Structure 1
Amino acid sequence: MWSDWQWMSTAQVPALTALERDWLLGQGSMTARLKSRSTQFRVQLLGVDDLSLSPHQAQWLGLPTDVTERTVLLLADEAPCIFAKSLWAGPGHPFSGLGEQPLGEKLFDGDQWRRGGIQIAKVRAAELGLDFPDTSLWARCSAFKAEGKPPVWVMEAFLPPIYRLDTL
């Protein structure tokens, strides 16, 4: 599970290109950013699963052991740009019925949800089941918190096509 990867704080991350840094450390909605850099944006739902976390994972994430995991691809002009997984206290959470609607539109709509610190990891595409042979990807995760609610965790792995959307 991605919560077991070797996550680093943003201060611990080795040298990044300016473009990698811009995407990885951006605080705003990736949905909004991809929409602004493409003529067509869509979410491809890969799965929604109820999972049981180990006690260690649940403690690290601040979630109960029974969670829902949603897996999607964010596509800009039909190019897969972000592979994302999100976790929330499940089943029955309001986000469980999102389907192919962007989670980012819910998390960044208003000021109910606040993003915590961003953690960064370098992962192999094969670990995610992605067909980018011999490719290492930068990924980030962060928790979104709202008063009186368990956190919603979002992990985003940045796929090679994303870096062609803009240059600094």
Structure 2
Amino acid sequence: MKRLCGAVIAGLMLVPAAAYGQQNQPTTQSASDARAADREAIKVVLANYKAAIERLDASGTEELFAADSQIFETGGVEGTYQNYHAHHLGPELDHFRSFKFSDYKVDVRFEGPVALATETYRYRIETESGEVAERQGVATSVLKKVDGEWKILNMHNSARRPRGS
């Protein structure tokens, strides 16, 4: 094994320095551009989901999630997004007068073929009966390209009362 590693290293040392020069930059730049485009596409997916919640209308958001997605919310296993939308989110939104996000931040990083997104935010909900809930929240999502589009495979969110409340 040591001989093989030594031979590989010695072989690499024979590659002309020019092989690592300008001719490789477009590929590196193209890969960097592609990652930047992917990062922006992921932010759009997450922003579209957030906007639907604020509109109190999550119809059509199923297209943002993979068919076999998994949703976890504040200690509960909600199943697929389709199940979560039908039995939790959709009915819940019907009882809200408003849902507004603030102090929203998102960070996206890549691990192989998947992206990991972390969102932090505050939100304020007002129910039809006038009750108000203000919370500090965080969501983590795993996204993967499915048929050329970024889809949410896994989403976990939780919230708590802001300190001093």
Q: Which range, TM-score by smaller chain?
A: under 0.3
* Structure showing greater Rg: 2
Structure scoring higher RCO (CA < 8 A, sep ≥ 6) equals 1
Scaled by the length of structure 2, what TM-score is found? Answer: 0.27
More strand as a share of residues: 2
Scaled by the length of structure 1, what TM-score is found? Answer: 0.27
